[in-house]
Structure formats: C-alpha cells, structure tokens
Structure 1
Amino acid sequence: MQYTGRAGKLFNSFNVVFLTIVAIVTVYPFWDTFVVSIIPLEEYLGSSIHLFPKAITFEAYTYLFSMNELWKSYGVTLFITVVGTALNMILTVLAAYALSRPSLKGQRVIMFLLVFTMMFSGGIIPTYLVVKDLGMMNSVWALIIPSALNTYNLIIMKNFFSSMPDGLVEAAKIDGSNDLGILFKIVIPLSMPAISTITLFYAVTRWNDFFNAIFFISDKELWPLQLFLRSMLFENESSYSGGGDSMFLLGPSIKMATVMAASIPVMLIYPFFQKYFINGVLIGGVKE
C-alpha cells in the first residue's frame, strides 16, 4: 500500500529499508552455507565472512553424494514424510469435519480434551515407554505413529470447515448424500487452500524431525536425513579424505554441503504452496 504526502513517502521509504534489512538477514545464512560448501579450504580459512566465492570446487558434494548412508537416510525420510503426512491428513480431515458439525454430541468435551493435550503432555519418558511397550523401537513407525495428529493443525482445519455455509451441507443431505459423500465431494474440494497449507506444515515437520529419531532409532540403517546431518555436523570436525591434489577438508565443506542437501528439497517445493498460505491460515482462523 502506497501512502501520499511527505509523511507517507517517509513511511514507505522506512518500510523499504526495514524489509530489505530483514530480507538480507534472512537470506544471508543460506547464502553463507552455500558459499562455504563450494569454496576451497584455503579460502574458508582466510576469512570469517564469505560473501562471494573466489574459487569454486564441488569436491564436498561429490564426496557427499557418493555416500550410501546419505541415500539410505533420504529414503527413510521420504518414506516418513510421504506416509506420515498422508496419515496426518487423513486423521486431521476426518476429525476436523466431525468436530465442525454442530450435531456432534459431546463436541465441547472432545475439544476440551484435545486442547488440554496442547498445554499438558506426558513428556519424553512416558512417550518413550509407550513406544517401547508397543514394540516400535528401531522402526520408522516410531517416527510416524506418536505424532499422527497435531492439535493445532486440527483446530485450524476445524475452523475452516465451520466457516463453510451450512446451506451447502443441508442441500447435499436433501439430495441424499451421506457424511462421507459430503466430505469428499463438497467439503474437501472447497477446502484445498487450507488442506494444502496444513499438508505443507505436516510435511516440513516430518522432513525436519530428528528429535524423536534420537530417542527411538539406534540402527544407523534407519537414520532419517536430519539424524544423518546431525552426525555429519558433530562427528566430522576435521576429517580428511584422499591425498595430494584431491585432499580437502571434510569439516566445514562437507557439513555445509549436507545442510544444503537437506534444505534444498523443501525450498524447491515451498513456492508451489506459498499462494495457499495466507488464504488457508486466515480463513482457518476467522469464522465468517
């Protein structure tokens, strides 16, 4: 929005300067990570600030992508993200639609119990004991089942469904549709902005999750990508590979290359869902 007059021009100039600074502060860590991943050791040690690479080498990426452990962790993370997000959305959509119907008996009690879990949780030890007793230790299901439903996302979806005109549902019932037919033929097609937003929330959370893997996964064959990244960051402080002209530091270069490998897929997918963010979140939070 453009403001006129002297005060308006001053305000617009301040906005431009402020947002430019915010953009630079936001983008610089990613840029610095990328530059460190492609510069030689000598250039990295020569300066603590890396704005533009003077020389470029892709040895770190060549070494990284030759590791079988990377591709195994990619496969585990893809499975967790795809299957886990699908399970998240199935449970979220079904529960949100049921809770959005005024005819549901005990709706207030159910919502109270759901919101209660947002404020008070069992904690890490009870969760660990439950996962262990269910026999899911060292299994990808230990990273999927315990987080199958997020209450915050459920509330957003429930509010979105509640904002739809009741006339649509009543008209469908008059035409003979049951609840599942109304959900899949009317509600879901009209809710794609919110569904896309919540799907991205779930997918990014699944992709970046490593906390649960630390507790539940000890088999390196089942390490997700973020746990592999963690091991690269903490265990390769000053490792070397090769000899002569091919020798390069596996500390900063390989660590930053691993960070880029873990971040790029989400960064590439995000622009396709960005248009749904504002519409989905605002409509889900405000009942019209």
Structure 2
Amino acid sequence: MKRKVKLSRRLFIMADYLLLLLIAVLCLVPMWHTVCASFSSPRDLASNRSLLLWPVGTVTLKGYQIVFANSSIWKSYFNTVIYVVGGTALGIAMTSVGAFVLSQKYFSPRNAIMLFVSFTMLFNGGMIPNYILIQKLGMLNSRLAIILPTAVNVFNLIILRTSFQGIPDSLEESAKLDGANDMDVFLKIILPLSKASIAVIVLFISVMHWNSWFPASLYLTERAKFPLQIILREILIDGNTNMTSGGANAAISIYKSLIKYCTVVISTLPILAIYPFIQKYFTKGVMIGAIKG
C-alpha cells in the first residue's frame, strides 16, 4: 500500500527540483555558449555581443587549427599532465599513509599531531616565506616546486582519516591474528574498503593541479615548464593571442575571441571527460569521510 504524500511535501519536492534545474541551467549555459563560440565564424563572433545557443555564421574548426598549431599549447599540455599525474600520485600516497597512521588507536600522539596539522588550515607562513623555502631547497624553476609543496592537503587528510576510522576494528584485529602486519592491513584491508573516499581525493588533487597557475607563476621562470593554465591566462587576461608558431599567421584581432574560446574548451575537456567515471563515488566518499568525528 502506497503511503499518501501530503500536498505541502509535494510542493516542497517540486520547488527543490525546480531550484536544482535552475542551478543546472545556470552552470550549463556558459559552458554551452563557450562551445558554440569555439565553432563560430571569427568575423561574426567578433561582432557578437549576445549569448550564443548555436554557432554564429559558418561552422568552422579554424580556431582549433590555430590553437593546435601553436607549440606552446602542446608543451604546456604535456607539462600539465606531468604535474597532474605526479602530483596526484604523490598526494594520494602521502595523504593515505598519513591518514592511516593518524587513524590508528594505538598511536598515542595521533590527536596532538592532528591538532598541529589542522592548525595550518587557519595559519600559515604566507607567500614570501614559502618562496624563500622553495629557494633555499633549490627547487626554483623546477617541476618539484609545483608537485612537492602541495603533496599533503589537510582537508583531504581529514576526510581520508575519518573514512579509515569508520572501518571496523574487528577486520584489522582478525588480519593481525592471521599474521598480517600494518602494511598488509593498509594495502589489503583499508585501501580496498575506502575506494570511494580515495576516488574523491584523487579527483580533488587532480583538479587542483589541473587548474593551478599561481605557484607556477611564482616558482617557474622557464617557459618550457609552464603549465597549460599559464598559457591560458596569457590568452584570456593578458591578451596574448600570438599563435604564429607552426606557421599559422593568426596574430590579428579578428581571431582573438575565437582563440580564447577554443583554448578554454581544450583546457576544460579532459576534466569533463574524467569526472563521469568518478562522479558515482563523489557523494558517498565525501559523506563517509565527513560524518564520523
């Protein structure tokens, strides 16, 4: 027998769906506008001042041809992949190991260390001390300056530690009775049971490195090591659309808007392609790592 739902409850649910639909539209419209603009005619796009729901003028791939003809885009793409893969691998390794140690009840200093680590979320040395530290460590103009300083994020550490604490102690005790050591428990019990939380942390770290540009602007001076976001910033903010590399004579004002939109699409596409595979773990992973204190 179906339970009768009150009218007020139905209205509340309907209002929720309408609100979520509105938010979804507000998020999707700018993305759709960017995609349509990237396929638009450069002349028509340069004179357009309205929101695009479809490409204006003749549909063309000229903008993508110009962008891909620029060697800086390919170099920066390669650099960004290095930063994302290296930073994510190192970040998830150090975060998961740290979370495992700090979640063990027999490790008596765990609460004191966690308090000390959490303190850095509120107070830190600042930009100048960090720059001096990177300089003294000899990592200026090095890829390590982008990967190492962000290896452990306190927020991610807290989520993963809380997720590990939610795993029943009986599983660990049973494994140790069978002769397992801490490494066996970590690799064969803790990590497999925390796939949802780990997937979320992987998403957080990879997106952070993919979108990061400020550390690179501080620590890197060699253009060959610049990530994609630095090149994108030059195009979008500084107005540097000199895409003459590779023989494409596109450094004219009529192509500026088209190049900007195409570069945004190219820089966003990989994250949009990866997200659907991790999205199913997102809510579950965050909730598991946030409920228990």
Asked if residue 73 in structure 1 is aligned to residue 76 in structure 2, the reply is yes
CA deviation profile, 1:18-73 (whole Å, cap 9, x unmatched): 22211110101111111221111332213322122243111110000111111100
Q: Does the 8 A contact of 2:43 with 2:254 survive in 1?
A: no
Q: 1:238/1:175 Cα in 2 relative to 1: closer, same or farther (>3 Å)?
A: closer
**Cα separation, 2, equivalents of 1:171 and 1:139:** 46
Residue correspondence of structure 1 range 25-174 to structure 2 within 5 A: 25-44=26-45, 45-54=47-56, 55-174=58-177
Residue correspondence of structure 1 range 199-278 to structure 2 within 5 A: 199-236=202-239, 249-278=254-283
The RMSD of aligned alpha carbons is: 2.2
Q: 1:240/1:88 Cα in 2 relative to 1: closer, same or farther (>3 Å)?
A: closer
AA at the equivalent of 2:290 = G
- TM-score normalised by structure 1 residue count: 0.93
Q: Does the 8 A contact of 1:194 with 1:276 survive in 2?
A: yes
AA at the equivalent of 1:18 = L
AA at the equivalent of 2:204 = F
**Cα separation, 2, equivalents of 1:165 and 1:10:** 41
AA at the equivalent of 1:83 = G
Q: Does the 8 A contact of 2:160 with 2:197 survive in 1?
A: yes
How far has the Cα of 1:238 moved from its partner? 7.4
How many pairs were matched up? 286
**Cα separation, 2, equivalents of 1:84 and 1:25:** 32
AA at the equivalent of 1:132 = Q
**Cα separation, 1, equivalents of 2:132 and 2:253:** 44
Gaps of 5+ in 1: none
**Cα separation, 1, equivalents of 2:254 and 2:243:** 5
**Cα separation, 2, equivalents of 1:238 and 1:139:** 26
- TM-score normalised by structure 2 residue count: 0.91
AA at the equivalent of 1:186 = I
Q: Does the 8 A contact of 2:80 with 2:228 survive in 1?
A: yes
CA deviation profile, 1:241-265 (whole Å, cap 9, x unmatched): 778xxx8723111011111111000
Q: 1:229/1:103 Cα in 2 relative to 1: closer, same or farther (>3 Å)?
A: same
Match of 1:15?
16
Instruction: Give the % identical residues.
Output: 36
AA at the equivalent of 1:25 = L
**Cα separation, 1, equivalents of 2:164 and 2:241:** 54
How far has the Cα of 1:100 moved from its partner? 0.4
Residue correspondence of structure 1 range 189-200 to structure 2 within 5 A: 189-200=192-203
How far has the Cα of 1:110 moved from its partner? 0.3
Q: 1:29/1:169 Cα in 2 relative to 1: closer, same or farther (>3 Å)?
A: same
> 3-state DSSP class of the match of 2:141?
coil
Q: 1:248/1:119 Cα in 2 relative to 1: closer, same or farther (>3 Å)?
A: closer
How far has the Cα of 1:240 moved from its partner? 8.8
Q: 1:270/1:214 Cα in 2 relative to 1: closer, same or farther (>3 Å)?
A: same
> 3-state DSSP class of the match of 1:146?
helix
AA at the equivalent of 1:11 = F
Q: 1:263/1:6 Cα in 2 relative to 1: closer, same or farther (>3 Å)?
A: same
Gaps of 5+ in 2: none
> 3-state DSSP class of the match of 2:53?
coil
